[in-house]
Chain A
Amino acid sequence: MRTYTVMIMLLCAVVIGGGALGADPDRLAPNTVVMKIDGKEYRFPGAAAGTVTDLGNGTVRLTIALRDNSRGVMMRISADIPEDRMGEELHLAADYADIAMIYKSSALQFIISPALQMARDSDIQYYENTGGAAKSRIKKRRPDWLGMEREERIASGKGIIREKSMDGTSLFLVIRPVADSGRQEFRGTFSGVARVPAGKKGTRPVVINGGQFRVEVIGQ
């Protein structure tokens, strides 16, 4: 795996709060992320960047990464997409796409990862005894879920990867590549719901909304 761009963290002071988030990532200063978490507004000017990583399997990982060292905040949103969709504006949801978010601060940490993914065809073959216990006859067969549609897989429980700890979470991401004065940028929006522990064995939702970013993809 090779990241052929780099995140440059411009270490600027963070402005927390400060009124409306605005509605248009095009109006943000470069390398800025804004969002509301638990109803509180955060603005991180000049502390973020974008990367593109070739996963080597026909997929690329687009990343919006934020680190504000003065506030001790780290965040990453990533989206794994087919490489032939690189130039498109993408509208992605964790229900259907391989997108994820981590957020770390001294006061709050959470992750959002898909609660359901489709298993890949890794060329596995199962050994099956078709001759009964008395007279074994072993045959190899491919998984039957390879021929199933998504909904059939979910209904049958075959060919799926479930992560129940992510039930009740969501993540929505719009990411738009923009060429600005010869430089590549990602601009877009995000929102979602994370769940964090609350009391013994309980959880509470953490709402992320109004998320916007404008980040340079440096090294293109």
Chain B
Amino acid sequence: MNMKKALSSCMMLLIAAPFYAAAILLPESALAFADRSHKNSAQDAVIYMETQGTNQQRWAADFLKAKTGGRESGGTGFDPNNGDGTQYGFINVARAGATAPDYTQDLWWDDTTTWGWNAVGINFTSWTHFMNLLKTNDDGNTLKYDNYNDFDGYSWNGCFGFPNSGIDYTVASYMNNAWMTIDLANCTDCTEKFSFVPNGNPAVDYRQNGSTNPLGTPHGTKKVGSDDGTNYNCYSDCVFNECPDEGSTLSGLYQIPNTSPGGDDYWTSNQDWVVFEPLDNAAAFYYNEFFLEGGASRNNHLDTGAAAGRYYSISSADMKYLAITMHYAGDSCIQHHIWNTSGYNHSDYETWVEDRYGNRVLGGSDGNANYENYATVTAMLRSRSNGETDAQEDIITENAFLTYLLRYRSGCDVLSNTTEPTRKSAGTHAVNQAIATIVLLYEKGVMDLRRYR
């Protein structure tokens, strides 16, 4: 028996043991903005539409209020699983939806010592809240960003800091050769699973916008995807080189996954790794499949026929799916979610913004908290190339590009700096950019219902 097989045998014994997940201390790395900042930006977007918007945006806001059941009360309500309870009325559903994706329990990872949806102290679902626009890593080496999508989501091998030390590397080492549940609906061991859609299954659900992510066949009671050549069969083999596949190199780094399924080399690290779906794919799922189509087809692309009539008949309960997409708009305004890193001051910056804008008093004028500026939002909206008639993914991707470029603006680089002026400049820009994008996406949501009616 060779060494690798010996290890695998022992691992199987371990898997059968009654291990349990216990949280360790890790950064709340992917809660971009954070709870209240997401809520406030959505609320500010609604108020902007009501008070500053174009005639169409004002009308769209009224439509949304009517369909949700009222402005601040009424309707079926929405519980985002964050402890706040059920929220009613458009503004409260908008606030709840904008933070909701951080509270799903739908990405389950398994390895020899941990099992669950948050076994490393963060909610694993956060890894679907990134879009990688990086061309190079911190060393200046070319990074491949388009393995399965026009722009991939988070991956350790696609991180800005890859392959150097930092939180991304430490988490990749911690997760190592773990594998993910790819059929959550039929996972009998996922006893705490929680999704906002019936039978939620992000591995398949978020495979939108032409994603070519190879999934594999679910195995066992945990329904993990452990087939060779598939994506979710290994987080990163940077400690113990036990992942099944080998990729190809670019700039001397493993950047192209699964070019040799099963062709692993036990002597070489980081040759197999997961690439998560990008945030615009998650947004597309909630927008196309459930807001527009009401779950009628669920086939990873928009069927306008399924949206017919929903302009008239959409339920107040289904309005939450539009609200949920706004979380991804917010995350795409955070530099770290576009420069693809859990480190580089990620959690500290988000906490900083949360402590200020997250605590802003609605309608207040505190320069250290009320970062919303409707004149700035108007300017940002007028500068956009994509409007409500364009694709949702294009609106979000344009927003991501603006966030990517913000790091290059003098005094806005929050990956390398922790100064108050830098964070305030970047945070103010992020807040108003988020408000602008949410306005645009709410307007688009209403107009798409009308367009396909």
Please report A residues at the B interface, Cβ cutoff 8 Å. 1-9, 11, 51, 53, 55-57, 59, 61, 63, 65, 67, 69-70, 72-74, 76, 78, 80, 98-100, 102, 104-111, 113-114, 117, 119-120, 122-129, 141, 143, 145, 156-165, 194-197, 203, 219
B402 at the A interface (CB under 8 A): no
Contacts of A219 in B (CB 8 A): 267
Contacts of A102 in B (CB 8 A): 170, 173-174, 239
Closest-CB distance, B18 to chain A (whole angstroms): 8
Closest-CB distance, A6 to chain B (whole angstroms): 5
B419 at the A interface (CB under 8 A): yes
Contacts of B121 in A (CB 8 A): 197
A104 touches which of B7, B28, B174, B422 (Cβ 8 Å)? B174
B269 at the A interface (CB under 8 A): yes
Interface residues of B in 306-350 (CB under 8 A from A): 343-345, 347-348
Closest-CB distance, B132 to chain A (whole angstroms): 16
| Residue pair A106, B417 in contact (C-beta under 8 Å) | no
Closest A residue, CB atoms, query B418: A157
Contacts of B6 in A (CB 8 A): 9, 11
B198 at the A interface (CB under 8 A): no
Contacts of A158 in B (CB 8 A): 416-419
A32 to B119, CA, bound (A): 28
| Residue pair A120, B417 in contact (C-beta under 8 Å) | no
| Residue pair B165, A78 in contact (C-beta under 8 Å) | yes
Known: A65-B240, A123-B140. A55 touches B163 (CB 8 A): yes
| Residue pair A159, B26 in contact (C-beta under 8 Å) | no
Closest A residue, CB atoms, query B18: A106
Closest A residue, CB atoms, query B170: A113
Closest-CB distance, B255 to chain A (whole angstroms): 11
Interface residues of B in 335-394 (CB under 8 A from A): 343-345, 347-348, 351
| Residue pair B25, A195 in contact (C-beta under 8 Å) | yes
Contacts of B252 in A (CB 8 A): 1, 56
A131 to B24, CA, bound (A): 50
A109 touches which of B114, B163, B344, B407 (Cβ 8 Å)? B114
Which stretch in B8-16, B66-74, B189-197, B223-231 binds the other chain?
B8-16
Contacts of B26 in A (CB 8 A): 111, 165
B259 at the A interface (CB under 8 A): no
A73 to B163, CA, bound (A): 25
B55 at the A interface (CB under 8 A): no
Known: A6-B267, A100-B170, A195-B25. A126 touches B410 (CB 8 A): yes
Closest A residue, CB atoms, query B176: A74
* Further contacts, 10 of them, CB under 8 A, given A98-B164, A165-B28: A1-B163, A3-B267, A57-B164, A67-B7, A74-B240, A104-B112, A109-B22, A111-B174, A165-B26, A165-B347
Interface residues of B in 141-157 (CB under 8 A from A): 141
Flag B13-50 by CB within 8 Å of A: 1 or 0 each.
11001111011111110000000000000000000000
Closest B residue, CB atoms, query A4: B267
B10 touches which of A5, A11, A57, A120 (Cβ 8 Å)? A11
Contacts of A78 in B (CB 8 A): 165, 173
Contacts of A196 in B (CB 8 A): 23-25
Interface residues of B in 414-448 (CB under 8 A from A): 415-420, 422
Contacts of A5 in B (CB 8 A): 267
Closest-CB distance, B270 to chain A (whole angstroms): 5
24 pairs, A vs B, C-beta closer than 8 Å = A1-B252, A1-B253, A3-B268, A7-B240, A51-B269, A69-B7, A72-B17, A72-B19, A74-B113, A74-B176, A74-B240, A76-B239, A106-B113, A109-B120, A110-B25, A111-B171, A111-B174, A117-B166, A122-B140, A126-B411, A157-B418, A160-B417, A163-B348, A197-B24
